[in-house]
Amino acid sequence: MAVETLEDLFLHSLSDMYSAEKQLTKALPKMSKAADNPELAAAFTTHLEETEGQVQRIDEVVDLLGLKLERIKCKAMEGLVEEGAEVIKEVPKGAVRDAGLISAAQKVEHYEIASYGTLCALGRQLGYDEAVELLEATLDEEKATDEKLTVFAEGSANPRAAREPRRLPRRPQPRRLRRRRNEFRSRPAYASIYRLRRQEGA
Domain positions in the chain: 6-162
If residue 114 lies in a helix (H) or strand (E), which one and from where to where?
A: helix 95-126
CB 150 within 8 A of CB 99: no
Whole-angstrom CA distances from 143 to 52, 80, 110, 138, 140 are: 16, 18, 8, 9, 5
If residue 143 lies in a helix (H) or strand (E), which one and from where to where?
A: helix 129-152
CB 144 within 8 A of CB 136: no
Total-model pTM: 0.79
pLDDT digits (tens, 9 = 90+) for 169-184: 556 655 664 555 555 4
CA dihedral angle for residue 110, residue 39, residue 140, residue 27, rounded to 10 degrees: 50
pLDDT digits (tens, 9 = 90+) for 100-150: 999 999 999 999 999 999 999 999 999 999 999 999 999 999 999 999 999
**Using CA atoms, how far apart are residues 42 and 140, in angstroms rounded to an integer?**
20
**Using CA atoms, how far apart are residues 157 and 187, in angstroms rounded to an integer?**
53
CA-nearest of 101, 95, 96 to 81 is: 101
CATH of 6-162, one of 3.40.605.10, 1.10.3720.10, 1.20.1260.10, 3.40.220.10: 1.20.1260.10
